[in-house]
Amino acid sequence: MEDVLLAFGLTLMAGLATGIGSILAFFTSTTNTKFLSLALGFSAGVMIYVSMVEIFFKAQESLIAALGPEGGRWLTAGSFFAGMFIIALIDKFIPKEGNPHELKKVEDMSKSQTEIKDPALMKMGVFTALAIALHNFPEGIATFTSALQDPSLGVAIAIAIAIHNVPEGIAVSVPIYYATGNKKRAFKLSFLSGLSEPVGAVVAFLILMPFLNDIMFGVLFASVAGIMVFISLDELLPASRQYGEAHLSIYGVVAGMVVMSMSLLLFI
């Protein structure tokens, strides 16, 4: 039960990091591009390393134990790419203008009031909040199941996802503010959209936990690895470089991998 509560707590922390992005959008005048470029690269490095070095092989070990070498390896690979397909499909059906991963900066909050209070943007603003909620749902499952299997691993993944949720909070707050002209409402909707991650954890606990045998665990863990690698390659690295600090982005990736490697060697 302690492990379950820790897993829920880590997932909640990661999800509510969108609120930090909202606060940055409302209470700072400029975007610290160097920090975000380094932080997003760091998050990508952590996710890629832990997915390919630790999570994938834990999933494979579990499936080989249940199905034998050939069947276990094939199902691991299939589940890995299925995770990628699921998160890619979610992105596919989110229009570009409403996608929370489209780059926005704090400076965008300084648009004129005539631009902000456009009634046509109300629908898009609400849709953006729903889009990020939908997108964060599988991330909640990933954080929860990882933390449940190995708390130390769960902490690392939760921190990486929390970092990646900060600019999402900015990206969600800005269009909602355009739609409503109300900072409190933009913050509220952005903050609440992050709650889809702990909701994902609740779903994982209520629906998946009763069936969590070696095969279910292996499939789920391999899918989590696929989800996190896709998020890193499709969202974190491009966003990190778009902030105009290409070298810092790569330095962040290497630093994230080094830190994750040390964590695995020392604590797991």
Binding site, annotated residues for Zn(2+): 139, 164, 168
Binding site for Fe(2+): which residues? 136, 139, 165, 168, 197
Phi, psi for 121 (deg, rounded to 5): -85, -10
Binding site: which residues? 136, 139, 164-165, 168, 197
**Of 44, 41, 84, whose CA–CA distance to 244 is shortest?**
41
**DSSP secondary structure, 37-76, as one string:** HHHHHHHHHHHHHIIIIIIHHHHHHHHHHHH-HHHHHHHH
Q: How many CA atoms lie within 13 A of 148 on its CB side?
A: 21
Residues 202, 207, 213, 216, CA torsion sign: negative
Tokens (6 digits) for 19: 């609120």
Spell out the residues 6+ positions from residue 18 whose beta carbon is closer than 8 angstroms to its own.
132, 136, 165, 166, 168, 169, 172, 190, 191, 193, 194
* Residue 169 near residue 158 (C-beta atoms within 8 A): no
Instruction: Report the distance separating Cα 28 and Cα 7, nearest Å.
Output: 32
